[in-house]
Amino acid sequence: MSQTVGVIIPALDAASSIAAVVKDARRILPWVLVIDDGSSDDTSAAARAAGAQVIRHEMNRGKGGALKTGFARALDDRLEAVITLDADGQHLPSEIPKFLGEWGESQPDLVIGSRDHLFEQMLPRRRMANRFSAWTISACAGTRVGDSQSGFRLYSRRLLQEVPIGANGFDYESEIIVRAGRGGYKVLSVPIDLGFVNGISTSHYRPVKDTLRIAWTVARTRFVG
């Protein structure tokens, strides 16, 4: 299992947290790749010192752009699946076995680490946004998704090879749900615990701009293709 599944961590200015995330992930899966998406701090050095492979973007390409770089390396290295998690410590690497359990049992194409059981602990505006986006994306994808904005996920090699994604920002993760659901790929959710529930202070998500971009990407994917 450990030789066929790896971990990808997109990171931006995460020097203070990335080492702990890498070390905890490598205790479970040795193949860990950090994509430094144009950081202005020592993210790359900290990740390497912790034992990760590192690819650095000199210019910021957005979360989707970072994920695409990581997925390309994973496919080149012939991994059968990859798990993505954030660099700020909100996603706990100790939760990775939940994804591996789903993968080993039924070989799904996309497993989303769902936080919907924690929505009540979130700030009201974040809770409402997550619930609305989950409902909208579920309707467009034709499959129920309890938490469409979680970046803690498992992607199968088949999904990454067969489903082209145009988005390069936070909308990447929404577009792939819609394309996977409407394409008949197996999409599952698994409940996860978090290091902290509200990640506003560490998030690079821009509420207005990125929400509008996600809405446009989802609508375009659903109705235009």
Nearest to 170 by CA among 197, 137, 209: 209
What is the spatial distance between Cα 21 and Cα 16, in angstroms, rounded to a whole number?
10
In which element (H, E) is residue 220 found?
Answer: helix 207-223
Q: Are 172 and 63 in contact (CB under 8 A)?
A: yes
Per-residue pLDDT of the chain (225 residues; tens, 9 = 90+): 556 999 999 999 999 999 999 999 999 999 999 999 999 999 999 999 999 999 999 999 999 999 999 999 999 999 999 999 999 999 999 999 999 999 999 999 999 998 755 545 555 555 556 666 767 777 777 888 777 788 999 999 999 999 988 777 767 888 889 899 989 999 999 999 988 765 444 455 555 455 555 555 555 666 555
Q: Are 116 and 193 in contact (CB under 8 A)?
A: no
| DSSP class of 214 | H
Please name each of the domains of the chain with its CATH number: 5-223 (3.90.550.10)
Nearest to 66 by CA among 77, 54, 80: 54
Tokens of 160: 């990454």
CA dihedral 41, 209, 174, 194 (to 10 degrees): 50
